[in-house]
Structure 1
């Protein structure tokens, strides 16, 4: 049997032009009890992005805290849904509709058990990997064609459940390393918006020096 010509590989979307809007949504649980927990790594990254640009969050429709920044002429809407993490999809989808932003210009930031603490992965598409927040977003959008930044938190020690582990605060050693890691993730998000996914992946996945 002979095969036809090989179809060309799908092109990576071009970096967004000045004036283009992105949404960066961190996933987490609302309230002070969860603020520094592993499950709120997405909130922490988005908080760091806001801090870098002097932006403040305000409560908007569908119970979402929103701040807006500009990165080299690109408008970026930062979001922290104030629903519990496994219900994140509806407020994220509503925010995209409100601002007229397609799913391909959405970055979702989440914690991830499959990577050790300090490791980050940036990818478009793919399955939720057991993360209920990512599953909720994909279901609400009806597509996987958005970018996810997965912030590694590692696996729970033997004898501890996943639920207890992710709802605990980072250890003292981990908290000492958080500022550098959060900055690195924030920089990757900024690079994604301005220079595209490939450049952002290079920046995030490069070995630490």
Structure 2
């Protein structure tokens, strides 16, 4: 089984914020595949989808961003999902708004959700899809920025990034992640 994990924060107050771009990709896939996240276990919502390429789990940790590993680690153990069969989707301040960057490993880069995953998974070697949200304007604190909604001029870029990310996830179901990186990076 493959597992696609979108990071974000639960609740109405966070729905449209920059930090929730991973949730948006999961919502897009769930809608495209007619697979609403109706199951709950280990502090997360998920669905298991039977695709022609095999079983796929869509996951939204409900632990709040900084504790995402508390959901993902136990779910992977329970369903016996291999490290190479996951991809984690999240926001990245160091990329221009809407740009995708796929990697097979790396540090947390200051992202607390990824720090939690590394801590609970015991490795930095897992597939990840970062979606650029750009840096905050001068004088704005990072927490305020990532928990703010997208500006009107950013919304089309982010919508396009969600579609492209969902496409990359679909591509990954039948291709090695390295091929997905070659196809979608940049």
Q: Same fold (TM over 0.5)?
A: yes
Contact 1:113 1:152 in 2 (8 A): yes
What is the DSSP-based 3-state SS (H/G/I as helix, E as strand, rest coil) of the residue aligned with 2:173? helix
Contact 1:72 1:194 in 2 (8 A): no
Give the equivalent residue in structure 2 for 1:49.
Answer: 29
Question: Which of 100, 103, 111 in structure 2 is aligned with 1:123?
Answer: 103
Alpha-carbon displacement from aligned partner over 1:9-34 (angstroms, at most 9, x marks no partner): xxxxxxxxxxxx11111111110100
Question: Which of 81, 84, 101 in structure 2 is aligned with 1:104?
Answer: 84
Give the equivalent residue in structure 2 for 1:166.
Answer: 146
Contact 2:83 2:126 in 1 (8 A): yes
Give the equivalent residue in structure 2 for 1:146.
Answer: 126
Give unpaired runs (5+ residues) of structure 2: none
CA distance in structure 1 between the partners assigned to 2:48 and 2:20 by the alignment: 20
Residues 1:33 and 2:13 are matched in the alignment:
yes
Off by >6 Å, runs of 4+ in structure 1: none
After TM superposition, the structure 1 = structure 2 runs for residues 15-30 of structure 1, keeping only pairs within 5 Å, are: 21-30=1-10
Alpha-carbon displacement from aligned partner over 1:156-187 (angstroms, at most 9, x marks no partner): 00010001000001111211333322111011
How large is the Cα RMSD of the aligned pairs?
Answer: 1.2
Q: CA deviation at 1:59?
A: 4.0
Residues 1:199 and 2:164 are matched in the alignment:
no
What TM-score, normalized by structure 1, do the two folds share? 0.85
CA distance in structure 2 between the partners assigned to 1:74 and 1:47 by the alignment: 20
Residues 1:84 and 2:68 are matched in the alignment:
no
Contact 1:74 1:194 in 2 (8 A): no
Question: Which of 29, 39, 42 in structure 2 is aligned with 1:62?
Answer: 42
What is the DSSP-based 3-state SS (H/G/I as helix, E as strand, rest coil) of the residue aligned with 1:68? strand
What TM-score, normalized by structure 2, do the two folds share? 0.95
What is the DSSP-based 3-state SS (H/G/I as helix, E as strand, rest coil) of the residue aligned with 1:179? helix
Q: CA deviation at 1:106?
A: 1.1
